[in-house]
Amino acid sequence: MDQVTEDIVRIGGLEFRGGEGFDGFYIAPDGLIGWDDSPDVRFDTIDRDNGDGEHDVPVYYGARVLTVSGFCYADSSEKLGYYRDRLIGLLANNMRVDVTLHGVTTFGQGAMAAASKFQVDIAGRRAMYQFSRRFRDPCKYGDLNTSETVSGDDRGTIRHYGNTWASSELTITGSDAAGYIIVGPSGRRIDVNVPLTAGVPHTFDTGTGMLRVGGSVRYGALGRVDLWRTAPGKTTAYGVGGTGSTTRIVARTRDTYI
């Protein structure tokens, strides 16, 4: 039989593992809810005035909610109290949460979704806990894929190994006083109208349209902007144009899941 991989949740230095133990936090058999599931959906309904059914309307995912529950073990009341304080204090913050399921680790940025619970059921030895995190971005993110670096008339290829559309961060380096054009798939393009200076890279997010120059957001620097994302199981061609041969571009894309 195949070996069953262990479920693990990591947040702010705390680790919650499947099964039971003698020290630390453990996840109950049914204590990990919301990460494998699809997020809730939201949409408006518009009835057909002169016919059966409804009109087609856009359907969107809502926020993802993860609930983790189980037992915390310790060898003293003081240690149990220490674990309680770490858990309750930590969960007040908006933090990255890493979850390992089916041997794959993905992550998201989550905040409190409900009051956290920590209730001692065996004095000085064990407590039941539960906490929930709300992820306003319902996507889960995995490994980072870095494409080849290209320039001039060459074109690179963007790909990822998730199950939904993924945006890319493009990094442009080189020198061009007149700006440049980011070339995307199917005739899409982004016109960058600010100088590119050696040693001060530009980064552009193909999902949000955010341009950063030397790490700082630059507004009013773009002309034509055609955004794109890369579909699961597909590839996207990209490149840079309207510039000198010293300008280079590279794409970084995380495996993206829903």
CB 225 within 8 Å of CB 190: yes
CA distance 156 to 114: 45
Q: Which CATH number is associated with domain 142-257? A: 2.60.120.860
Residue intervals in the chain for CATH 2.60.120.860:
142-257
Q: pLDDT by residue (tens digit) across 121-158?
A: 999 899 999 999 999 999 999 999 999 999 888 899 99
CATH assignment of 8-138, given 2.130.10.10, 3.40.50.2000, 2.40.30.200, 3.10.450.50? 2.40.30.200
**Given this model, what pLDDT does residue 1 score?**
46
Backbone angles phi and psi of 27, in degrees to 5: -95, 135
Label residue 181 exposed, middle or buried (CB < 10 Å: 0-12, 13-18, 19+): middle
CA distance 27 to 15: 10
CA distance 128 to 107: 25
Enter the tokens of residue 213: 């120059």
Q: What parts of the chain have a pLDDT lower than 70?
A: 1-5
User: What share of the chain has pLDDT > 70, as a percent?
Assistant: 98
Q: Tokens 């055609």: give the residue.
A: 226
**Given this model, what pLDDT does residue 129 score?**
97
Q: pLDDT by residue (tens digit) across 172-201?
A: 999 888 899 999 999 999 999 999 999 999
Label residue 130 exposed, middle or buried (CB < 10 Å: 0-12, 13-18, 19+): middle
**Given this model, what pLDDT does residue 5 score?**
61
Residue intervals in the chain for CATH 2.40.30.200:
8-138
**Given this model, what pLDDT does residue 248 score?**
93
Cβ neighbours of residue 173 closer than 8 Å, sequence gap 6 or more = 196, 198, 201, 202, 247, 248, 249
DSSP string of 84-140?
HHHHHHHTTS-EEEEEEETTEEEEEEEEE-S--EEEEEETTTEEEEEEEEEESS--E
